[in-house]
Amino acid sequence: MSVHKKFPALGRGLDALIDTADEIHTSGSSSINEIPVDKIFPNPNQPRHEFDEDALEELAESIRQLGIVQPITLRQMDDESYEIIAGERRWRASKLAGLTTVPAYVRTANDENMMQMALVENIQREDLNAIEVALAYQKLIEQYHLTQEELSEKVGKKRATVANALRLLKLPAPVQLALRNKSIDQGHARAILGAQEPSVMLKLFKEVQERGYSVRQVEEMVKALNAGETVKSGRHQLRNRNNRLPEEYNELKGRLSDFFQTKVQMTCSQQGKGKITINFDNEEELEKIITMFDKMRS
C-alpha cells in the first residue's frame, strides 16, 4: 500500500517565512541581532543568480534613507559566519549603501528548508525568471526525491504549474538562455516546445527572433508540423521527421481523443517508435486529464 506524504505548503506568502508583526515563527530556535555584513554569505542553493543593478541601487538608496525595514533571515554556521536564508537582495543593497551591520533573524534550518525558503522568498518578493524557477524545482525533486505532486504541495503551487515550469528545461539551450534573458517570452517558448524535435525547435526560435511571429502563429506552425506538413516560412523550411502517422494508428488516435475529450496528436516512425501528445487549453483541463490518469492507476 502506497503512503502519500503530506508537506506544509510554503507558497502562502511571506507569512509562511516571516511574520510582518516583528515576530518570526520557526520550527527551530531564532533570535534577532545586528550582524556584520562581512560575516554574511549567500546561500549556495539560492535559485536567483542575477540581480538587476539598477533595482539594487534603488533599494540601496531607500536603505540609506530609511534603513532596513524588514530584517533578513540567516542561519549561523560552525565558523561563526552566517548564511542567508532569505533577503540576499537586501544584504547586497545594504553593502552598496555602506552599512556595516544589518538587522537579521538568526535561526536554525536544515539544508532542505534552506533551499525551499530561498525559492519561496524569491518567488514572493521578486519573480525569478522562468528557467531559474524550473532549475530550482528540478533541484528539489532530484535532491530530495520528490514527485511533482509532493513538490507542488511544498511550494504551494498547482501541480500543472510545476509541470509546465519543468517542461521548459526540455528546450534547446539557446532557447533556455533567451528565456532566461527575457529575449523570448514563456508563451513563445511553450509554443516552440510543441515541435518536440530539438532541431525544429531551434529553427522556430530563429523564426520568432527574426520575423516576430506571434504565439498564435507559432502554435499554428507547430500544429501543421505535427500533422506531417512541411512549413515554409522566412529563411527556413520546417519539417518534423518521423511524424507521419501510419493509417492503422488513426483509429487509436480517435479513441484516445474521445476518451480524454480533447485533441490527441501522435507521431510514429516506420520502426514503430513515436509519441502521444494530449492537448489542453488551460490548467483546469490539465488537472482533469491528470485526475483521469490517477483514476486509471488506482
Residue 96 has what pLDDT? 92
Task: Flag whether pLDDT at 53 surpasses 90.
Answer: no
What lies within 8 Å, CB to CB, of 137 at 6+ separation is: 151, 155, 162, 165, 166
Return the pLDDT at 38. 92
Q: What is the pLDDT of residue 3?
A: 39
More confident residue, 130 or 127: 130
Please pick, among 23, 57, 88, 247, the residue that the annotation labels catalytic: 88
142 is catalytic: no
Confidence of residue 27 (pLDDT cuts 50, 70, 90): very low
Q: Which one of 62-76, 109-123, 227-241 scores highest in mean pLDDT? A: 62-76
Stretch among 77-81, 125-129, 253-257, 260-264 having the lowest mean pLDDT: 125-129
- Give the span between the Cα atoms of 104 and 70, in whole angstroms: 9
Cα–Cα–Cα angle for 139, 141, 147, nearest 5°?
Answer: 165
Indicate the pLDDT class of residue 29, thresholds 50, 70 and 90.
Answer: very low
Residue 75 φ then ψ, to 5°: -125, 145
The residue with cell 543568480 is 49
Residue recorded with cell 508540423: 225
Please tell me the number of Cα atoms within 13 Å of 115 on its side-chain side: 18
The Cα–Cα gap between 292 and 258 comes to 13
Chain segment 162-173, per-residue pLDDT in tens: 899 999 988 888
Average confidence score pLDDT of the chain:
76
Sign of the CA dihedral running 246, 248, 253, 254: positive
Q: Residue for cell digits 482533469?
A: 288
Residue 140's pLDDT band, with cuts at 50, 70 and 90, is confident
C-alpha 206/C-alpha 202 separation (Å) is 6
pTM above 0.75, yes or no: no
Instruction: Flag whether pLDDT at 6 surpasses 80.
Output: no
pLDDT of residue 182: 84
Contacts of 163 (CB under 8 A, 6+ apart): 148, 286
Q: Which residue has the higher pLDDT, 107 or 245?
A: 107
d(CA 284, CA 278): 14
Q: Is residue 68 a contact partner of residue 100, using CB atoms and an 8 Å limit?
A: no
For residues 184 and 209, give the distance between their C-alpha atoms in angstroms, rounded to a whole number.
8
Average pLDDT rounded to a whole number, residues 116-131 = 66
In this model, does residue 148 exceed pLDDT 60? yes
Task: Specify the pLDDT at position 151.
Answer: 84
pLDDT over 70 percentage in the chain: 72
- Where do the domains of the chain lie, and which CATH numbers do they carry? 32-107 (3.90.1530.30), 110-169 (1.10.10.2830), 189-243 (no CATH), 247-292 (no CATH)
Identify whether the C-beta of residue 257 lies closer than 8 Å to the C-beta of residue 251.
no
Q: Please state, in angstroms and rounded to a whole number, the distance separating the CA atoms of residues 191 and 298.
A: 32
**For residue 25, is pLDDT > 70?**
no
Higher pLDDT, 216 or 226: 216
Q: Of the segments 95-109, 142-156, 158-172, which one has the largest average pLDDT value?
A: 158-172
Higher pLDDT, 262 or 31: 262
- Return the closest-CA partner of residue 149 out of 139, 134, 161, 135: 161
Q: Are 197 and 275 in contact (CB under 8 A)?
A: no
The C-alpha angle 217, 161, 252, rounded to 5 degrees, equals: 65
